[in-house]
Structure 1
Amino acid sequence: MKPSEKIVSASSPSLSKSWLAVLSVALGAFVVVTSEFLPIGLLTHIAGGLEVTAGTAGLMITIPGLVAAIAAPVMTITAGHFDRRTLVLFLIGLLVASNLLAAFAPNFAVMIVARVLFGITLGGFWTIAVTLGARLVPPGSAARATTIIFAGISIATVIGVPSGTLIAGLAGWRVAFIVLGGVALLIGAVQLFVLPSLPSPPTPGVRQLVSLLGHSDARLGLLTIAFVIAGHFAAYTYVTPFLKDSATISPGSLSSLLLAFGVAGIVGNFAGGAFAARNLRLTLITAVSLLAGAVMLLPVFGHQLTGAAVLLIAWGLAFGAIPVVLQLWVFKAAPEALEGGAALLVSTFQIFIALGSVVGGRIVDDLGTSAVMWAGGATALAGLGVVALSRHKKSSVPAAAQPHLV
């Protein structure tokens, strides 16, 4: 067995330390996602402080996504033979620098430089981090480890972003970025002690990308991601305006509904990982169907508090499961190209997050918020047709080399 194919590195002497390493990567995911979405809650504060319009300030969210879409495959190609532990620590260090630079930005141009640095972190971190679950723990536990890593995303949306917004309200947006940089530094220190040596994969980056695209099921998985993510973000970006249109949903109820969505996402993340380990195809079909159905039913039942609560919880459960399930789908299709798969996953996610949000905005402007729910749900539902085209054939890679994702 080649060094990079070992599930648990020789430098990780105990199973407990392996799971601590998984937890440290999940904490990294938490701080990365918090850094990604924190500016949404601080948009008006930052715009006023740096003397730009709210529309211009929105570039703080758009630009990192575009940079990440480029950085992910570039990282795969250029990372070469660098130890993955070293790369993770470097990227967390870059995250610390980007948050501190944002905190002390004297003008918007410097803020954009900080967010470009963050975009590199975003693309690079996810390219490497999501593959580590299969390498840090024994065979048979990789799906669980991957689920824990992805839980950092849901927890960030429920706890991290609201906490950052609260800090900004109490002490200013600059302090929020300073605190976030400090948290990232602490997480980096933990990773320094618990992450084992993780040699680079034996297959060069370019060959990984080519190999992955050579698998029809992997290509179909990426196409499924395009439909589902575009549909989800077309609708979710405008779910708050949709709910505000209802006279029966108060501002306090709106906050509770969005919190329920986030908590359901955490539950969905763990449930999706557990069910995917048993039946990947059925779990994916169920999650996409539930998401599309919940979104498309919002214009019918979502104007009443009870209906909105049921549908948002269902939506949150489904979307919480989808990232980990789709990742496992692509990884199972091409287990010899995990980092290449992760890179293309990141690029596809980021491109279609942006595309879905932009197209959703045009629909809202022309037809209203109910129309974007119909359109978003229908777009996600189209992903089921792509899943139906795939048989998810067994890989030709020998069983000994399989990372046993499912």
Structure 2
Amino acid sequence: MNTNSLKSWLPTVSISLASFIFVTSEFIPVGLLPEISAGLGKSEAFTGLLMTIYAWIVATMSLPMTVVSSHWDRRRLMLILLGTFVVANLASGLAASFGMLLVCRIIVAFAHAVFWSIAIPLAIRLGPAGGRAKALSIIAMGASLGNILGIPLGTFLGQSFGWRMAFSLIALVAFVIYVILYRMLPSLPSQSITTFKNVPSLFKRKSLVLVYLMTALTVTGHFTAFTYIKPFLLAVGGISTDFVVVLLLVFGASGVFGSILGSKIIYKHPKNALWISLGIVFSSLLLMTLAVHSQIWLMALAFVWGTALTLLCLIFQSAVLKEAPDVQDVAMSLYSGIFNIGIGGGALLGSISSTNHIGSVGYVGAIFVLASLMLSAKFQISELKHTEGAVGH
């Protein structure tokens, strides 16, 4: 099969579109935290717990739900997940209370818990043989577009027409993607039946455990600051809400750049890419308070920060696939769960830090990224460049 054939990549692209809308929905509260809290009569710190609860539902349910659904046809499973996603986001747009919104978010989180466990292995399986790196880049591009288009646009609509409009629009776009998936995805029987017996063996693989630990620390540090980026910009820098949208757009654009760059460098220079990217994220968190008084410096900081974070996600995902080629669904479900432990933990730490002093969120987050940077010296990642190869359909 011709790897460069556009038609051969369409099924993988359709999974990328689904990743776009899942990312948009997951992080839309970041851009609309003040609006949601005001609309529901809650404090921003309390409303931020929507992120924590969502993330920890994903973290705790990723593995068990992946195991339960491991024998399902992949096409059927993906359509069920996205259909549930559509209904729950539509209901979010109609939520009249914090409790109702929380229930809707929990339902979305259950769908999310399985989606990221199967999306990357499925995208690789659907793509042409030998296209692992390109498939990863395509999925990363979809997720990045969620940041560059979905979150800023949702934030703008929420600020202009109310936060409920943002959730309603997410539901509408998700329905369109559902139709595309319905038409594009072939029937794909499960390649293996996953059981909990596979899990203990993963924790005997030292390199894999180290990837999981670095992921948890890095993501916790990032989301300690990023969850409260809008309150931080408004309170510390006196930034206008319009510029917040611009900054989120820049951050998202950096993700697209990072996904393109990552497909070219992480297999050639994985160690250097890991260390440099961790160093950039660490420095970015430290520099938030200094950069907040200059829009130019903020945009530059957002771009390099987002690029480095995207590279880290690609490196971690590639390492997980390399270290567990025999049980990719289980390994990726654990990765997704651990990633979301980091999101939830970061949102909780950000909530505590913002209650005491909103300006401290970057410094608190930097501590965790520094710990990840120190651990990275022990990780043998030089063989990532050898993971490229044929992946069966």
TM over 0.5: yes
Deviation per CA, 1:47-84, whole angstroms, max 9, x where unpaired? 56556555554443332212111221112211131111
Q: Which of 114, 117, 125 does residue 127 from structure 1 map onto?
A: 117
Gaps of 5+ in 2: none
What corresponds to 1:391 in structure 2? Answer: 380
Q: Which of 292, 306, 314 does residue 282 from structure 2 map onto?
A: 292
Instruction: Please give the TM-score of this superposition, normalised by the length of structure 1.
Output: 0.84
Instruction: Please give the TM-score of this superposition, normalised by the length of structure 2.
Output: 0.87
Query: Does 2:87 match 1:97?
Result: yes
The 1:53/1:344 distance shift into structure 2, 3 A limit, reads same
| Structure with more contact order per residue of length (Cα contacts < 8 Å, sep ≥ 6) | 2
2:175 is matched by which residue type in structure 1?
L
Q: Which of 7, 11, 18 does residue 21 from structure 1 map onto?
A: 11
Q: Which of 342, 351, 357 does residue 352 from structure 1 map onto?
A: 342
Counterparts of 1:89 and 1:39, CA distance in 2: 25
Query: Does 2:234 match 1:234?
Result: no
Query: 3-state SS of the aligned residue for 1:130?
Result: helix
Task: Identify which range, 60-69 or 371-380, moves more after superposition.
Answer: 371-380
Query: Does 2:371 match 1:373?
Result: no
Task: Identify which range, 223-232 or 48-57, moves more after superposition.
Answer: 48-57
Gaps of 5+ in 1: 1-7, 9-13
Q: Which of 132, 139, 143 does residue 133 from structure 2 map onto?
A: 143
Query: Does 2:175 match 1:197?
Result: no
Q: How does 1:37-186 map to 2 (within 5 A)?
A: 37-43=27-33, 45-47=35-37, 56-169=46-159, 171-186=161-176
**Identity between Structure 1 and Structure 2 (%):** 31
Counterparts of 1:239 and 1:55, CA distance in 2: 12
What corresponds to 1:3 in structure 2? Answer: none
The 1:178/1:402 distance shift into structure 2, 3 A limit, reads same
Deviation per CA, 1:125-184, whole angstroms, max 9, x where unpaired? 111112223211233311111121122222112211232333445554444333322211
Query: Does 2:377 match 1:382?
Result: no
Task: Identify which range, 276-285 or 19-28, moves more after superposition.
Answer: 276-285
Aligned residues: 391
Query: Does 2:255 match 1:265?
Result: yes
Counterparts of 2:242 and 2:153, CA distance in 1: 17
Counterparts of 1:278 and 1:310, CA distance in 2: 26
Counterparts of 2:32 and 2:227, CA distance in 1: 16
Deviation at 1:350, TM superposition (A): 1.0
Counterparts of 1:149 and 1:240, CA distance in 2: 27
Task: Identify which range, 208-217 or 165-174, moves more after superposition.
Answer: 165-174
Counterparts of 2:63 and 2:196, CA distance in 1: 9
Counterparts of 1:53 and 1:248, CA distance in 2: 19
Counterparts of 2:292 and 2:99, CA distance in 1: 41
Counterparts of 1:247 and 1:83, CA distance in 2: 50
Counterparts of 1:57 and 1:305, CA distance in 2: 27
Deviation at 1:248, TM superposition (A): 8.8
The 1:250/1:163 distance shift into structure 2, 3 A limit, reads closer
Query: 3-state SS of the aligned residue for 2:306?
Result: helix
Deviation per CA, 1:260-302, whole angstroms, max 9, x where unpaired? 2221122112212321232333322221122112322444565
Query: Does 2:300 match 1:327?
Result: no
Task: Identify which range, 122-131 or 230-239, moves more after superposition.
Answer: 230-239
Deviation at 1:345, TM superposition (A): 1.1
What corresponds to 2:24 in structure 1? Answer: 34
Q: CA contact under 8 A between 1:295 and 1:311: conserved in structure 2?
A: no
- Bigger-Rg structure (1/2): 1
The 1:377/1:39 distance shift into structure 2, 3 A limit, reads closer
Q: CA contact under 8 A between 1:211 and 1:337: conserved in structure 2?
A: no
